[in-house]
A = this chain, B = another copy of it.
Amino acid sequence: MKMSTKGRYGVRAMVHLAVHYGQGPLPVRKIAEKMDVSAKYLDHLMTALRMAGLIRSIRKAHGGYILARSPKEIRLSEVVKVLEGSVAPVDCVDDAGACHQADFCTARDLWQRMQKAMNNVLESTTLDEMAQGQKMKWNNLI
Protein backbone atom coordinates (compact mmCIF):
# COMPACT_ATOMS: atom_id res chain seq x y z
CA MET A 1 0.00 0.00 0.00
CA LYS A 2 2.84 2.38 -0.72
CA MET A 3 2.65 5.50 -2.83
CA SER A 4 5.56 5.88 -5.24
CA THR A 5 7.92 8.86 -5.32
CA LYS A 6 5.81 10.19 -8.15
CA GLY A 7 2.99 10.93 -5.77
CA ARG A 8 5.27 11.94 -2.94
CA TYR A 9 7.40 14.36 -4.94
CA GLY A 10 4.52 15.60 -7.01
CA VAL A 11 2.36 16.59 -4.07
CA ARG A 12 5.26 18.35 -2.41
CA ALA A 13 6.11 20.22 -5.61
CA MET A 14 2.51 21.35 -5.92
CA VAL A 15 2.58 22.62 -2.35
CA HIS A 16 5.67 24.65 -3.23
CA LEU A 17 3.86 26.19 -6.18
CA ALA A 18 0.89 26.93 -3.93
CA VAL A 19 3.08 28.61 -1.34
CA HIS A 20 4.53 30.89 -4.02
CA TYR A 21 1.24 31.40 -5.82
CA GLY A 22 1.00 34.89 -7.35
CA GLN A 23 4.74 35.47 -7.17
CA GLY A 24 5.64 34.53 -10.73
CA PRO A 25 6.89 31.27 -12.18
CA LEU A 26 9.05 28.82 -10.24
CA PRO A 27 11.64 26.82 -12.22
CA VAL A 28 11.95 23.08 -11.68
CA ARG A 29 15.57 23.50 -10.71
CA LYS A 30 14.63 25.63 -7.71
CA ILE A 31 11.81 23.36 -6.59
CA ALA A 32 14.03 20.31 -6.84
CA GLU A 33 16.74 22.11 -4.90
CA LYS A 34 14.36 22.96 -2.05
CA MET A 35 13.03 19.43 -2.02
CA ASP A 36 16.48 17.90 -2.36
CA VAL A 37 15.54 15.60 -5.23
CA SER A 38 16.72 15.12 -8.83
CA ALA A 39 15.59 18.02 -11.03
CA LYS A 40 15.68 15.85 -14.12
CA TYR A 41 13.31 13.38 -12.52
CA LEU A 42 10.99 16.08 -11.24
CA ASP A 43 10.88 17.31 -14.86
CA HIS A 44 8.86 14.25 -15.85
CA LEU A 45 6.39 14.69 -13.04
CA MET A 46 5.85 18.34 -13.93
CA THR A 47 5.14 17.31 -17.50
CA ALA A 48 2.44 14.95 -16.28
CA LEU A 49 0.93 17.65 -14.09
CA ARG A 50 1.01 20.11 -16.98
CA MET A 51 -0.67 17.71 -19.37
CA ALA A 52 -3.37 17.13 -16.78
CA GLY A 53 -4.00 20.87 -16.74
CA LEU A 54 -3.04 21.43 -13.12
CA ILE A 55 -0.04 23.67 -13.86
CA ARG A 56 1.05 25.93 -16.72
CA SER A 57 4.56 26.36 -18.05
CA ILE A 58 6.43 29.49 -19.03
CA ARG A 59 9.16 28.40 -21.38
CA LYS A 60 11.96 30.94 -21.44
CA ALA A 61 14.74 32.37 -19.34
CA HIS A 62 13.42 33.07 -15.84
CA GLY A 63 10.36 31.04 -16.70
CA GLY A 64 9.09 28.01 -14.87
CA TYR A 65 5.77 26.67 -13.67
CA ILE A 66 2.74 28.23 -12.04
CA LEU A 67 -0.52 26.72 -10.83
CA ALA A 68 -3.18 26.73 -13.52
CA ARG A 69 -5.88 27.59 -10.97
CA SER A 70 -6.08 29.13 -7.54
CA PRO A 71 -4.78 26.81 -4.80
CA LYS A 72 -8.23 26.97 -3.23
CA GLU A 73 -9.64 25.29 -6.30
CA ILE A 74 -7.20 22.40 -6.50
CA ARG A 75 -8.02 19.36 -4.42
CA LEU A 76 -5.33 16.89 -3.48
CA SER A 77 -7.40 14.14 -5.02
CA GLU A 78 -6.69 15.61 -8.45
CA VAL A 79 -2.97 15.81 -7.87
CA VAL A 80 -2.67 12.26 -6.59
CA LYS A 81 -4.87 10.91 -9.34
CA VAL A 82 -2.63 12.39 -12.04
CA LEU A 83 0.54 10.96 -10.56
CA GLU A 84 -0.56 7.66 -9.06
CA GLY A 85 -3.67 6.89 -11.05
CA SER A 86 -6.78 5.93 -9.13
CA VAL A 87 -6.31 5.41 -5.41
CA ALA A 88 -8.15 2.09 -5.67
CA PRO A 89 -6.16 -0.40 -3.58
CA VAL A 90 -6.90 -3.08 -6.16
CA ASP A 91 -8.06 -2.84 -9.75
CA CYS A 92 -11.38 -4.64 -9.34
CA VAL A 93 -12.73 -1.66 -7.41
CA ASP A 94 -12.78 0.52 -10.49
CA ASP A 95 -13.19 -2.28 -12.98
CA ALA A 96 -15.17 -5.34 -11.91
CA GLY A 97 -13.74 -7.20 -14.87
CA ALA A 98 -10.27 -7.09 -13.38
CA CYS A 99 -11.11 -9.96 -11.02
CA HIS A 100 -12.68 -13.15 -12.25
CA GLN A 101 -15.11 -13.60 -9.38
CA ALA A 102 -15.78 -9.95 -8.57
CA ASP A 103 -19.51 -10.38 -8.19
CA PHE A 104 -19.19 -12.89 -5.38
CA CYS A 105 -16.12 -11.52 -3.60
CA THR A 106 -16.46 -9.95 -0.17
CA ALA A 107 -12.91 -8.69 -0.27
CA ARG A 108 -13.98 -6.27 -2.95
CA ASP A 109 -16.35 -4.60 -0.50
CA LEU A 110 -13.41 -4.05 1.80
CA TRP A 111 -11.27 -2.52 -0.94
CA GLN A 112 -14.14 -0.25 -1.82
CA ARG A 113 -14.47 0.99 1.72
CA MET A 114 -10.74 1.64 1.87
CA GLN A 115 -10.80 3.61 -1.35
CA LYS A 116 -13.71 5.67 -0.11
CA ALA A 117 -11.90 6.46 3.12
CA MET A 118 -8.77 7.62 1.30
CA ASN A 119 -10.66 9.56 -1.30
CA ASN A 120 -12.55 11.32 1.43
CA VAL A 121 -9.32 12.69 2.86
CA LEU A 122 -7.91 13.72 -0.51
CA GLU A 123 -11.16 15.22 -1.71
CA SER A 124 -11.61 17.33 1.39
CA THR A 125 -8.17 18.91 1.27
CA THR A 126 -7.14 21.78 -1.00
CA LEU A 127 -3.67 22.92 -1.98
CA ASP A 128 -4.41 26.22 -0.28
CA GLU A 129 -4.93 24.52 3.07
CA MET A 130 -1.64 22.73 2.65
CA ALA A 131 0.15 25.91 1.66
CA GLN A 132 -1.21 27.65 4.76
CA GLY A 133 -0.06 24.76 6.91
CA GLN A 134 3.38 24.89 5.34
CA LYS A 135 3.73 28.61 5.99
CA MET A 136 2.74 28.01 9.63
CA LYS A 137 5.50 25.48 10.10
CA TRP A 138 8.04 27.89 8.67
CA ASN A 139 6.85 30.75 10.85
CA ASN A 140 7.17 28.66 13.96
CA LEU A 141 10.87 28.41 13.26
CA ILE A 142 11.40 32.09 14.02
Contact = CB atoms under 8 A, between A and B. Distances in A.
Interface residues on A, range: 35 or more
Given A36-B100, A90-B3, A12 B107 contact: yes
Interface in A83-142: 84-91, 100-101, 103-107, 109-111, 113-114, 117-118, 120-122, 125, 130-131, 133-134, 137-138, 141
A115 to B, nearest CB: 9
B1 A84 contact: yes
Nearest to A117: B117
Contacts of A90: 2-3, 7-8
A110 B117 CA distance: 13
Query: Chain A at the B interface: mostly helix, strand, loop or mixed?
Result: helix
A114 to B, nearest CB: 5
Interface string A1-24: 111000110011001000000000
Closest 3 CB pairs of A and B: A117-B117, A106-B133, A3-B89
Interface of A: 1-3, 7-8, 11-12, 15, 36, 76, 80, 84-91, 100-101, 103-107, 109-111, 113-114, 117-118, 120-122, 125, 130-131, 133-134, 137-138, 141
26 contacts: A1-B3, A1-B80, A1-B86, A1-B88, A1-B89, A7-B89, A8-B107, A11-B107, A12-B105, A36-B100, A36-B101, A103-B137, A104-B134, A104-B137, A104-B138, A104-B141, A105-B137, A106-B131, A109-B133, A110-B121, A110-B122, A113-B125, A114-B118, A114-B122, A117-B117, A118-B118
